[in-house]
Chains A and B, each alone.
Chain A
Amino acid sequence: MVKRYVWVLLAFFGFFGTCLGQEKPWLKQVEMGVLGGKTENLWDETTTARLGLSVSTFFGKEFLPKQWLGVKLGIDQYPSVTTLPLGLGWRGFLTQTDGPRLMAGLDLAYGSPILEKIERTDWSSSWHESGIMIHPSVGFRLPAKKGNWGLTASVGYKRQPTAFLEGTHSNAESRPRIPFFHTSSRLPEGFSALTKTATLYHSLSIQVGLMF
């Protein structure tokens, strides 16, 4: 698990380092913040507040005036799973002044649960699945007094479907293959029972960052 995190951080900052070396019309952004929301407890149907960390980078190219399209990589922490969103992002500026600028963003990414361990015994397996993360946001950019960079702050809504699956093997002597996505009502091959707890996270995101 620790090893996986190290790899992710290396990729993350490698990506960020590449961004720093780029010239306009490239746009680079690193953000860090929190994801907040309320989650329902299936046992007693009460809700509890949750708060998790979120770190992301964006690296895009200007394709229309004041609009950038690029790739997005991040880490999002939820109570049941940590995801690695990898996908596309859009950034647009609503005002063009030398001072603070209003901006908006939209990210679409697959929130991979690759950091989560698959648990296997002779009798059962448990694993995580997830889906496409959608993250619209609005915020502003405060330019630095010197240099071509600025501070950003944004607030947004993040939608991330996830699922935790626990399956009982049909046969203790052979471990069935874990399906990449389990969407059908049929049992995956080699399983006699499957419990799927699907959580669709609706989060408020509050992030601050640097933009180059």
Chain B
Amino acid sequence: MNSRFLSVLLVLSSILIFSCTDEVTSTYSFRTMMPVYLEMKDVRAKAISVAPAQEIEEPGKIYIYKDYLFINEPNQGIHIYDNKNPANPINLSFIPIEGNVDLAINSDILYADNYVDLLAFDISNIRSIRLVKRVEDVFTHLYQHSTGKVITFKDTVITSEGPRWEYDNMWLVRPGMSLTANMAKAAQSYGTGGSMARFTLMEGHLFAVDQNTLRVFDVVNPAEPKFVKPIDLGWGIETIFPFQQKLFIGSNRGMHIYDASTPSAPTRMAVYEHVLSCDPVVVNEEHAFVTLRSGNFCVNGVNELHVIDIKDPYQPKLKKAYPMLNPHGLGLAEQFLYVAEGKHGLKSFNVKDVLSIDKNQLEFLPSMKSVDLIPGPKSLIVIGPDGVCQFDYSNPAALKKLSCIQVKDPIEVS
């Protein structure tokens, strides 16, 4: 080996060491809500035609009607399943409806929101569903007043070149805290006994709630819904539950009771107030059952089941509060109460003696993560991260799983 070779090596080394500069890049990806502005005339111009069956990506609200199961895909539309056999629900078709988060069915007429409009579909022939009526400009809270356009938000992941500190002023949103997710979660089921609905039917009228308004529609002629009037409820309205000519409206501040004996003009009877919390409601003749939970915007840290005496609906009184794990939706069937405990599972109770519900827990399925449920005529329908599952609940102490409809993008249980 000679010194010439060593010299070459040294020169090479010098060149390399001064030319080797590392490449450093920083990317910051975050989930945020991107505003999407829509002209309603463009939305209305699109023909709505029923599409073939599609896989569910993210289940929203559920509605049972006759032998059919209607599953809302938030802001996308409605899946229709033949549920004659709850052990084997058959995916039939999909109605694409932009901006849809809720639904209700009355005498073969399906009502669904389409951003600011209410649509009515004739579903008497499930294989030939037709749009029969559009009531325009009723859910006006979605309008952005300055432009007259509909503003909606899209859950979006943005990836930006540049380090994180350059983006710290942006609004970071946990998926469970997004508006879409909350609207979907707050409206994840509906039906007789459903607790988290924003649409409900009673006495020939459709009642729809948004964050602060109750809207009343006359549907005496089901195919010709007519908007009657809006009623201001105050901020934080989440759910609506009808029972014996009364409307029980859950808000994050408490439970409103409205007399709907004159359904076109419901009047407030009372408000039962509690700490800031998320609280779906179900009721029977004497009691209202309200779950309060922490998580998302419900930040108080309280996880409880409240039993409220409503014998005198003008003076609702707390009868007893029970600690729970993280209760979401709930359902009442006769004397049995079913509670979706979020990631903690599914519970059933005998609530005949409302003062000792904790001593009458019948079933606890920790593996069945759930956010809402409906005690239906054939099965208990439970929405959880695994999809939409159905249980034989003929024995509330031994719930038996019948089937599960798998979803592409399971909802996140917080």
Contacts and interface: CB of A to CB of B under 8 A. Distances in A.
Interface residues of B, number: 32
A187 B29 contact: yes
Given A38-B20, A39-B24, A204-B20, A194 B29 contact: yes
A155 B172 contact: no
B13 A37 contact: no
A155 B6 CA distance: 11
A173 B17 CA distance: 48
B353 interface: no
Nearest to A201: B22
Interface in B1-35: 1, 5, 9, 12-13, 16-18, 20-31
Contacts of A195: 26-29, 163-164
Given A47-B21, A142-B1, A170-B412, A204 B27 contact: no
B176 interface: yes
A159 to B, nearest CB: 9
Contacts of B173: 192
A196 B27 contact: yes
Interface in B378-412: 412
A16 interface: no
A203 B20 contact: yes
A100 to B, nearest CB: 4
A200 B20 contact: no
Interface in A64-120: 99-100, 102
Contact of B23 (A155, A194, A202): A202
Contact of B22 (A40, A142, A153): A40
Contacts of A166: 164
Interface in A153-197: 153, 155, 157, 166, 168, 170-171, 173-174, 185-187, 192-197
B44 interface: no
B159 interface: yes
Given A186-B157, A196-B29, A198-B27, A157 B1 contact: no
B22 A38 contact: yes
Contact of B175 (A153, A157, A192, A196): A192
Contacts of A204: 13, 16-17, 20
Contact of A155 (B9, B20, B176): B9
Interface string B245-284: 0000000000000000000000000000000000000000
A211 interface: no
A42 interface: yes
A193 B164 CA distance: 10
7 contacts: A37-B22, A39-B24, A47-B21, A187-B157, A193-B29, A196-B26, A198-B24
Given A196-B27, A197-B163, 6 more contacts: A42-B26, A99-B1, A185-B159, A187-B29, A187-B31, A195-B29
Interface of A: 36-40, 42, 47, 50, 99-100, 102, 138-140, 142, 153, 155, 157, 166, 168, 170-171, 173-174, 185-187, 192-204, 206
